[in-house]
Structure 1
Amino acid sequence: MAEWQEITGGVTAPKGYKAAGITAGLKPSGLPDLALIVSDVEAIAAGVFTTSQVKAACVDYCRQRLQAKPFARAILCNAGQANAATGSQGVRDAEESAELLAKELNISPESILLASTGVIGQRIKMDALRGGIPKLVAALSPTGSDTAAGAIITTDLVTKSIALETTIADRPVRIGGIAKGSGMIHPNMATMLAFVTCDAAVSPHLWQEMLSRAADRSFNSITVDGDTSTNDSLIALANGESRTPAITEMGAEAEKLEAMLTAVCQHLAKAIARDGEGATCLMEVQVTGAHDELAARQIAKTIAGSSLVKSAIFGRDPNWGRIAAAAGRAGVPFEQENLNIKLGDFLLFENGQPLPFDRAAASAYLKQAAANSVLPQDFVATNNSNDLSVDRKNIPGQRVDNPVIIAVNVGNGHGAGKAWGCDLSYDYVKINAEYTT
């Protein structure tokens, strides 16, 4: 039984946070495109960012801010323009964004972190942002998480939000999160943004370590299409407003908090994978028997990222050969005769040998996984360079609890790991072929 419970409220569920999302005119569609999360007090801040050598201005900005001072009061996110590969003017735009918000909030620009999402090579529409920031600050609310979650999405079908609560030192402690992501999703990290709030008191170095480990077990373990982006940012604030004793080193309370942080990140990561562009179902790859967790996750990520595996899942084809091939090329040594593969409850391959199985029933299992989805399958993407908000309906209530399960055992080691992905459909090509045209 989990040591926490799910609650409502997203990033405003923890004490001492407000959020807002508005339409500032950054997206020609007229849909929400500017989001803000603010802590009532200065919070410990940590971040994990893209490993791409081509980075958005906001990524470099945040890295520099966090290296200089691991504290923040606010996170500002614009959707519509990535502000990546925009040169020195893009850097100035990012800096001006922080300065404008700082003036409106009456705080230091150094206390503001930034995120952007949209088309690479496009600068933020600064005139729209200048006019939008006062409205955004005026809209801040202790129940504003949903509006913020809606303002950060681009090609997403659904908003992504979660909040959990546990007890530390006999006081409630909460962690909330919102995220966006649908395409250009691959470990290290992906075209995703995730913002996490917490009301525990944690030392800066420990909070960063916790977040990095949580990212490896969540956002760095999902894949949609094998592409890593320029803007990936996971930012987490911890403001201490729960009034619990400060957690400064690993121990029972730190482990409890990290487990809840990981659970929040994994929920958001799975929601991103399930919302993969054109996807019809979520895949969860479970690997056991490896030398260590890192090796197990490497095999799992390779299987989840295989275009052949993903295509087979979309075709409802229980093709275990593609799973075996992907496991074998993951770069992790194991003996072939120790390999076992299951699809749901169907054992397909055991001790390096194929087994007879009911192919029709296994295919029906894959069909049922897609049928369990609440995401609409009849959308028509209308992406173009002038409108990042496609008519893929923004429908709340996304389910991530019924994935296709691929279970792989590679030996007798203690290493176990998971990765999440989605199937690869015809619509993925359509959406991305029309993305800027």
Structure 2
Amino acid sequence: MKTLQPVEVVKQVNEGNILTPKGFKADGAHAGLRYEKKDVGVIYTETPASSAAVYTKNIVQAAPIAVTKDSISQEGKLHGIIVNSACANACTGEQGLKDAYEMRKLAAEKFGVSEHLFAVASTGVIGELLDMEKIANGIQALNPTTERVSAESFETAILTTDLVSKHCGYEAIIDGKKVSMGGAAKGSGMIHPNMATMLGFITTDAVIESTDLHAALREVTNDTFNQITVDGDCSTNDMVLVLANGEAGNEPLSSTHPEWPVFIEMLKQTAETLAKKIAKDGEGATKLIEVNVHGMKTKPEAQMMGKTIVGSNLVKTAAYGADANWGRIIAAMGRSGVTFNPREATIAFGDIVVLKDGEPVAFSEEDAKVYLEQDSFTINVYLKEGTESGTAWGCDLTYEYVKINGSYRS
């Protein structure tokens, strides 16, 4: 009898979201930080949830990150997270830190829990103080429910220059119990490992301790959120937070649990789906680009080369113009910091080979252009240094990107 692999056991939930797992509620409200759109959101669970997070590698970190780190460090448990858009609360000094703690306090009071059981996240313009009166009013206006419309309200409240909301859901059977996972994210510009101007929120009803959840998150982040890039800039506010409230009733998950690989696969698929949606929704973008690098000595080397290729402005502009300019790709490979033999390099746009073992190959420019005009395409690189592979995702660079960022504050 065939033994199912973890990737086969995990199933995507149609229109899944952060409320797909049991016991979670959400909402979004208009506090007035933005002209019309919702700008304050909450995810809440009455059952305390094991929590884990990863944060931006930028040494300039916004006040909400300090507050969330403080919250998680106390018990490793959270009841929820309060989020605002329109203002990053970054580079705002002592007042900004006080405001982030006040935001946490207001949310905790609203839901009748201890202050340290809430996390805080903010996104928007750097260097401006939060309007705390509006924040307070927005928090009071929140009325989280389990309805899909509430998940959509949260997804809308966290957006900045994003054109679309980003969500997904997955499920699997662990210990005979249905375990579910859902996610929501925002991110459009200043997207570059590690991680991006992005906020990612993942909920699950799995039973798992915070230390094991953190280990799982660290394991999947390098292959997902850290493998996307839009414009090479790294934000001050990036955060991915996972909440596990244990309502599925499975046996506690850890690396020694026989179905640990299933949970890891579910977390990986959730993170990868959100990461790809962020890359596709890059500011002004029209195309999602996937780069697969094969045949390297180590996976990190393959990943590094893939990120360099998809992050190259010349590659990105060629993608926008549907120009099969493979010279830009091999040039990016050469400056990636990874050692390889160019005479053994093969490059293909999908299945269209344009360079074979370091030699140009005659190919149909027309067919290549048709392929590159799709809203999603793949660049494949084959080398002969080893057996490891890596994948990265990004988007094209367009006139609209310049327009958006030329007037971001105004």
AA at the equivalent of 2:187: G
Determine the structure 2 residue equivalent to 1:50: 56
Q: Deviations over 1:47-83 (max 9, x none)?
A: 0101111111001111222233311111110011000
Closer/same/farther in 2, CA of residues 157 and 38 from structure 1, 3 Å limit:
same
Match of 1:253 among 256, 259, 262: 259
1:279·1:425 contact (CA, 8 Å) conserved in 2?
yes
Aligned residue pairs total 402
Q: Within 5 A, what are the aligned runs for 1:390-429? A: 403-429=376-402
AA at the equivalent of 2:67: Y
Distance (Å, rounded) in 2 between the aligned partners of 1:22 and 1:77 = 11
Residue 316 of structure 1, CA deviation: 0.7
Q: Report the identity percentage.
A: 41
AA at the equivalent of 1:365: Y
Does residue 25 in structure 1 map to residue 32 in structure 2? yes
Closer/same/farther in 2, CA of residues 414 and 205 from structure 1, 3 Å limit:
farther
Residue 340 of structure 1, CA deviation: 0.9
Distance (Å, rounded) in 1 between the aligned partners of 2:327 and 2:8 = 36
Q: Deviations over 1:169-205 (max 9, x none)?
A: 1111011000000000001111000000011111222
Q: Within 5 A, what are the aligned runs for 1:97-136? A: 97-136=103-142
Q: Within 5 A, what are the aligned runs for 1:14-413? A: 14-27=21-34, 29-136=35-142, 138-143=143-148, 144-367=150-373, 369-370=374-375, 403-413=376-386
Distance (Å, rounded) in 1 between the aligned partners of 2:153 and 2:170 = 19
Q: Within 5 A, what are the aligned runs for 1:4-23? A: 4-7=10-13, 8-23=15-30
Residue 150 of structure 1, CA deviation: 0.9
Q: Deviations over 1:277-322 (max 9, x none)?
A: 1111000000111112111110100001000100110111001111
SS in 2 for 1:119: coil
After TM superposition, the score normalised by the length of structure 2 is: 0.96
Flag structure 1 segments of 5+ consecutive residues without an equivalent.
Answer: 371-402
1:17·1:142 contact (CA, 8 Å) conserved in 2?
no
Residue 93 of structure 1, CA deviation: 0.3
Residue 250 of structure 1, CA deviation: 4.1
Residue 30 of structure 1, CA deviation: 1.5
Determine the structure 1 residue equivalent to 2:4: none
Determine the structure 2 residue equivalent to 1:399: none
Distance (Å, rounded) in 2 between the aligned partners of 1:74 and 1:253 = 27
AA at the equivalent of 2:31: A
Q: Identify the range of structure 1 (63-72 vs 53-62) with the bigger mean alpha-carbon deviation.
A: 63-72
SS in 2 for 1:424: coil
Q: Identify the range of structure 1 (207-216 vs 151-160) with the bigger mean alpha-carbon deviation.
A: 207-216
After TM superposition, the score normalised by the length of structure 1 is: 0.90
Distance (Å, rounded) in 2 between the aligned partners of 1:237 and 1:62 = 13
Distance (Å, rounded) in 2 between the aligned partners of 1:302 and 1:213 = 22
AA at the equivalent of 1:417: G
Closer/same/farther in 2, CA of residues 111 and 142 from structure 1, 3 Å limit:
farther
Flag structure 2 segments of 5+ consecutive residues without an equivalent.
Answer: 1-6
Q: Identify the range of structure 1 (243-252 vs 214-223) with the bigger mean alpha-carbon deviation.
A: 243-252
AA at the equivalent of 1:338: E
SS in 2 for 1:364: helix
SS in 1 for 2:259: helix
1:340·1:349 contact (CA, 8 Å) conserved in 2?
yes
Residue 363 of structure 1, CA deviation: 0.9
Determine the structure 2 residue equivalent to 1:385: none
Residue 252 of structure 1, CA deviation: 3.7
Q: Alignment RMSD, CA only?
A: 1.2
Distance (Å, rounded) in 2 between the aligned partners of 1:122 and 1:66 = 26
Distance (Å, rounded) in 2 between the aligned partners of 1:337 and 1:252 = 45
Residue 22 of structure 1, CA deviation: 1.1
SS in 2 for 1:80: coil
Residue 219 of structure 1, CA deviation: 1.1
